[in-house]
Structure 1
Amino acid sequence: MRSLCILLVLVVPGAGCLVQFQNEVVIERPVDQVYGAFMDESRLPEWLLGYKGMRRLAGEPGTAGSTSVLFFETDSGETLELQERVIAVEPQQRFAFEMNHESMISTTQVVFVRLEHGRTRMISQVEAQGKGFLWSILVRLSKSTIQERDLENLQRFQDMLEGKRRTP
């Protein structure tokens, strides 16, 4: 096993490092509507892939320091539980949170930028890291899949607000 770990470090550049990426969409709605819909927990099933529900652990919804457990159904039909901790909230500007799982931890900052003509740029900035050596490698190798899923969620959110339907 030790030689496998050494080999992976040599073959996978940056193994164990933080994975970072950014996605964005421009939504044809004003920032107050975009932010309001983003903060509306009842609408999460409409756009967040696999979302099945939430259990509040502590704090007021949508406030820094609040914690919840979010439940997702994976592609294989299993239930995935992620613990969310809200890091920062600046209404209509920024919402930052941390997602914690036994295998990885990620921090996401969603930035809302007011544009001309009642449009909003929504930017998702994500940092993720596996817990432990092997999970770090798997997260690094899965970067493109994680980024694609994040972008798909943003596009589904955009479609929900603009009244569009995305074809599978």
Structure 2
Amino acid sequence: MKYLKYLLYVVLALVVVFLGKGLMTPSIAYECEVTVNKPAAEAWAVMSDESRLAEWLEGYKNGELVSGEKNTVGAVSNIYVEENGEEMVMQETITAIEPNRLMAMTFTMDFMNMDYQITLEEKDGQTIVRTQSLVTGNGLMNQSVVSFFPSMMKEQEEKNLSNLKQLVESNTINYFPEPEVVEMEEDSTAAM
């Protein structure tokens, strides 16, 4: 009986520490950065190409517009991702957008919410891509879980940015085709 009492105290202490960490750290913030050897306009075009999102965002399956106009402030989409063989859905709402420079959005899930911002800054033909994330667990239990995994979340974002860098630098799609010039023939009847 004495060992059971000590075991109960240990379990209780672990629960208090776990929940206390969630109370002390209800959200986590992290930033990541990568330099891409392409101009910002091309980095933006590749990053925004929905047909290529799965090539750099690990687990991305697809997205569907729920309301608003695609790629505008206020647009809401359901984003489907797969993690460990299980499909999850999160709701994405665009909160700011400046083509070739900035996109900010919120992601809402049962487990947590995330405020996410990605900025592009061009210098000497290269682009610095920076992300900022603020993750908040929904409820005390989820806050506690989130508070124990900041390094894992940052590692995933660094991997995604590394994938984006490789994708942009190896891009062969011409997102900016030159308009075709058509020469007009002179109308011989107009001169008469």
Give the TM-score, by structure 1 length: 0.89
> Does the CA-based 8 Å contact 1:16-1:129 persist in structure 2?
no
CA distance in 2 between counterparts of 1:142 and 1:94 reads 27
CA distance in 2 between counterparts of 1:14 and 1:152 reads 29
CA distance in 2 between counterparts of 1:114 and 1:62 reads 21
Decide which moves more: 52-61 or 20-29: 52-61
* Secondary structure of residue in 2 paired with 1:7: helix
Aligned to 1:112: 120
Counterpart AA for 2:18 = L
CA distance in 2 between counterparts of 1:158 and 1:59 reads 30
Gaps of 5+ in 2: 1-10, 172-192
CA distance in 1 between counterparts of 2:130 and 2:29 reads 13
Deviations 1:131-156 (A, max 9, x none): 00010011111111111111100100
C-alpha deviation, 1:7, in angstroms: 3.3
- Percent identity over the alignment is 26
Aligned to 1:161: 168
Counting matched residue pairs gives 161
Aligned to 1:46: 55
C-alpha deviation, 1:42, in angstroms: 1.3
Aligned to 1:26: 35
Gaps of 5+ in 1: none
> Does the CA-based 8 Å contact 1:106-1:127 persist in structure 2?
yes
Shift of the 13–130 alpha-carbon distance from structure 1 to 2, 3 Å rule, reads closer
Aligned to 1:7: 17
Deviations 1:6-43 (A, max 9, x none): 33345x38644220000000000001001111111111
Moved over 4 A (4+): 1-5
CA distance in 2 between counterparts of 1:119 and 1:107 reads 26
Question: Considering only aligned residues, what root-mean-square deviation do their CA atoms show, in Å?
Answer: 1.9
* Secondary structure of residue in 2 paired with 1:49: coil
Alignment of 1:49-128 (within 5 A): 49-74=58-83, 76-116=84-124, 118-128=125-135
Give the TM-score, by structure 2 length: 0.78
> Does the CA-based 8 Å contact 1:81-1:101 persist in structure 2?
yes
* Secondary structure of residue in 2 paired with 1:84: strand
> Does the CA-based 8 Å contact 2:22-2:140 persist in structure 1?
no
CA distance in 2 between counterparts of 1:80 and 1:133 reads 21
Counterpart AA for 2:41 = D
